[in-house]
Amino acid sequence: MEERLLNGKPFDEIAWRNNDLINFLNGVWPENVHRYFLFSDFCDKDSTNSTTATQLSGNPNTHGAVYDRAEFERQVKAAKGKEYLVVDGPDKTVDGFNPVWVIRKQQRNRTAGGRPDDVSLEGTYFCVNQQLYQSPSLYDIMAQNLLNIQDKLEDFHTTAAEMPLFNPQEGYNYFSPDALAKREAASRNASVASTPGPGALTENTNSGASKMDADRQEQVAMLQSLEASIRFGGEYMDVNPIVGEPGKLSFQSTDSHLQAQAAARAKAAADKAAKEARSAEVSAMSSPFADTRPVKKGSKAEKTIGKENRLKRRKSKGPGATGSPEASV
């Protein structure tokens, strides 16, 4: 529906009031609120209200119906077309009380078969303190609210963009407005230069020399750091070193991966120890050299060797050596 304008402004942005008409009607009351609305810029001149008011005013017998709200609305509903009806508001008013009437614009169409009329809503108006307003559409309300939200978000992003403080250990922090104000005040106070005194020249010379020494120390420290980085850049003291860049730091391996590596190292060490033990046992069994160490007389080793020699001599006797003593003589 095309938006209606009054003096270049939309109807939902104006307030209509006619003091001369208010004086003529002796104020706005429940019975003449329709009459007051008929003369406003909001009422269409081709509406059923205008036609019905003209017909009733031209007949002396029905002229009073124009100031009878219930009778006037009954006459308006009897015809089809565009109409304005009071749907909410007091039926009676008292002095010192400012009533509010809600007037609804409708399009009424007749239906066949005795069914209720087809009525569609086209607009809503308010009469408050003898002034008339048009209610904004749902589209206008949503557009205004979205515009307000957008303005607030822009203000928020503008303010938040000046507040973040990044730290690799803690991430992002944000200053409160009070802390930011204190920080700016401290910065301004620190930037104020003091008035030079009598010994300012000597102090400046000494400060210049100390500044050169500090710069030289910083260069030396930077070179030492660079050398250490080149020499030990690929070595880590941690079992699970931290890799990445500030803001995206992470561990190189997971706990399960470290446990698997530790188990693999333990298994490799056990296998190596078992292999060395087997190697030592095999070398001891296959050695061609006898133990040539001297045996102490009367020791256990000497008794063992004598017993082994007697067993060998007994086994060395063959079956033919079992003759009688007489034969051997």
Question: Six-digit token pair at 183?
Answer: 């920080």
Q: Are 125 and 42 in contact (CB under 8 A)?
A: yes
Rounded distance between C-alpha atoms, residue 64 and residue 247, angstroms = 83
> Could you tell me where the DSSP H helices lie in the chain?
19-25, 33-38, 48-58, 69-77, 138-161, 177-191, 200-232, 255-285, 300-316, 325-328
- Of 135 and 292, the structure prediction assigns the larger pLDDT to 135
- Where does the pLDDT of residue 83 fall: very low under 50, low under 70, confident under 90, or very high at 90 and above? very high
Q: Is the pLDDT of residue 48 over 60?
A: yes
Q: Quick one: what percent of the chain has pLDDT higher than 70?
A: 69
Mean pLDDT of the chain: 76
CATH of 5-137, picked from 3.10.450.580, 3.40.50.920, 3.40.50.2000, 3.30.428.10, is 3.10.450.580
- Of 258 and 124, the structure prediction assigns the larger pLDDT to 124
Rounded distance between C-alpha atoms, residue 268 and residue 286, angstroms = 27
Domain ranges of the chain: 5-137
- Of 300 and 138, the structure prediction assigns the larger pLDDT to 138
- Where does the pLDDT of residue 326 fall: very low under 50, low under 70, confident under 90, or very high at 90 and above? very low
User: Can you give the pLDDT at residue 228?
Assistant: 82
Rounded distance between C-alpha atoms, residue 128 and residue 88, angstroms = 12
Rounded distance between C-alpha atoms, residue 296 and residue 134, angstroms = 131
Q: State the DSSP code for 41.
A: T
- Of 322 and 69, the structure prediction assigns the larger pLDDT to 69
Cβ neighbour number for residue 35 with a 10 Å cutoff = 20
- Of 298 and 102, the structure prediction assigns the larger pLDDT to 102
- Where does the pLDDT of residue 15 fall: very low under 50, low under 70, confident under 90, or very high at 90 and above? confident
In this predicted model, what pLDDT tens digit does every residue of 164-199 receive, in sequence order?
777 777 677 776 667 667 777 776 665 555 555 555
User: Can you give the pLDDT at residue 270?
Assistant: 92
Q: What are phi and psi of 139, to 5 degrees?
A: -65, -45
| 38, HSE (Cβ side, Cα atoms, 13 Å) | 19
Q: Is the pLDDT of residue 269 over 60?
A: yes
Q: What angle do CA 87, 90, 96 make, to 5 degrees?
A: 140
Q: Exposed/middle/buried for 136, CB within 10 Å: 0-12, 13-18, 19+?
A: middle
